Amino acid sequence: MKEIVVISGKGGTGKTSIVSAFASFAENKVLCDADVDAADLHLIMNPTIRERHDFQSGYTAIIHRDKCTECGLCRDLCRWHAISEDFVVDPIECEGCGVCYYFCPEKAIDFPLNTCGEWYISDTRFGPMAHARLGIAEENSGKLVSLIRQQGKVLAEQNNLNLLLTDGPPGIGCPVIASLGGAAAVLIVSEPTVSGRHDMERVAELAAFFRIPSMVCVNKFDLNPEQGEAIEAFARDKNVRVMGRVPFDPVFTRAMVQGQTIAEFDSGSEGCQAVRKIWENLAEDIGI
């Protein structure tokens, strides 16, 4: 079983649209939406949820005012300034470190486990899918990313499927780092803008840091061919394999509005042809 993780650095470059198109082209695969912060793949995959589980992770302190003597030790020790002058914990600021809970001389602080999201095992018209929803303003997105990828692998093994196709998060921080480990390769979807290029360079550096082979494709290439070529030149210089170019094509938005992959919506479109070519290059490259 091999896993391809699609990332971008910059948000909104077309990761989910391209993963959806790949879902149309690839055989024997499991889909995984690892952008748990703002998951969108389900809007195209329209999954039928088979299993629903709570995601529990991290703790939050709660002070019981009836036991509290207002000695102030917790406020002195808390580095997050999460405890107010009248000894109420702000759950948004609380880091879940448990220092206040550990040291409270009156044992007036509880430290319950948080339920901070849900994860799902689903069926889609393209095969099984693992996905999740992190609660709004919650932490531990990296742990949920790891969990959902693990579930994707289990699904692949159970169903004897040889590919895990993972829609990754934007950025280079905790959820992205959690989406990289053990992947056969990452595909970086970039765009030919100064920001797309800047962000692609940083995320390519991240993949190299964790020694994950990376590939790149440039979406909306014709918006600025000069920037697009600069991205490809950077890639070649850093041993990032260049997989192809996708033209700017409004058909991507139209397919999304219909809840369809671009291959379902208009398989003859320029955009679809380009993504198909990228898929073929990628499949050949990783040997699936």
Partner 1 sequence: MIISIASGKGGTGKTTVATNMAVSVGTDVQVLDCDVEEPNAHLFLHPTIEEIQTITTPVPEVDMAKCTLCGKCGEICQFKAIVVIGETVLPFHEMCHSCGGCMEVCPEKAITEAGREMGVIERGHRNGMEFVHGKLRVGEAMSPPLIRKVREYARPGALTIIDAPPGTSCPVIASMKGADFVLLVTEPTPFGLHDLKLAVGAVRILGIPCGLVINRSDMGNDEVWTYARQEGIPILMEIPFDRRIAEVYSRGEMIVEAMPEWKEKFLDLYHRIEKLAA
Answer for which of 46, 49, 88, 209 binds partner 1 (CB under 8 A) is 209
Site for partner 1 in 24-43 (CB under 8 A): 37-38, 40, 43
Answer for which of 56, 193, 273, 281 binds partner 1 (CB under 8 A) is 193
Site for partner 1 in 105-124 (CB under 8 A): none
Q: Segment near partner 1 (CB under 8 A), from 124-132, 219-227, 232-240, 274-282?
A: 219-227
Number of residues that bind partner 1 (CB under 8 A): 61
| Radius of gyration (C-alpha) of the chain in whole angstroms | 22
Answer for which of 60, 114, 166, 224 binds partner 1 (CB under 8 A) is 224
Residues in the chain: 288
Q: Segment near partner 1 (CB under 8 A), from 48-56, 98-106, 151-159, 274-282?
A: 98-106
Answer for which of 98, 182, 213, 247 binds partner 1 (CB under 8 A) is 98
Answer for which of 65, 103, 115, 159 binds partner 1 (CB under 8 A) is 103
Q: How far apart are CA 2 and CA 183, in angstroms?
A: 7
Q: How far apart are CA 60 and CA 96, in angstroms?
A: 5
Site for partner 1 in 137-166 (CB under 8 A): 137-139, 141-142
Residue 21 makes contact with partner 1 by CB under 8 A = no
* Closer of 161 and 269 to partner 1 (Cβ): 269
Q: Segment near partner 1 (CB under 8 A), from 63-71, 99-107, 157-165, 266-274?
A: 99-107
Residue 61 makes contact with partner 1 by CB under 8 A = no
Residue window 243-282: x/- pattern of binding to partner 1, with contact defined by CB under 8 A? -----x-x--x--xx-x-----------------------
In whole angstroms, the minimum distance from the beta carbon of 135 to partner 1 comes to 9
Residue 184 makes contact with partner 1 by CB under 8 A = no
The C-alpha angle 49, 51, 55, rounded to 5 degrees, equals: 110
Candidates 193, 282, 153; CA nearest to 14 is 193
Q: How far apart are CA 40 and CA 134, in angstroms?
A: 12
**Site of interaction with partner 1 (CB under 8 A):** 8-13, 16, 37-38, 40, 43, 59, 77, 79, 92, 95-99, 102-103, 134, 136-139, 141-142, 169-177, 191-195, 198-199, 202-203, 205-206, 209-210, 220, 223-224, 227, 248, 250, 253, 256-257, 259
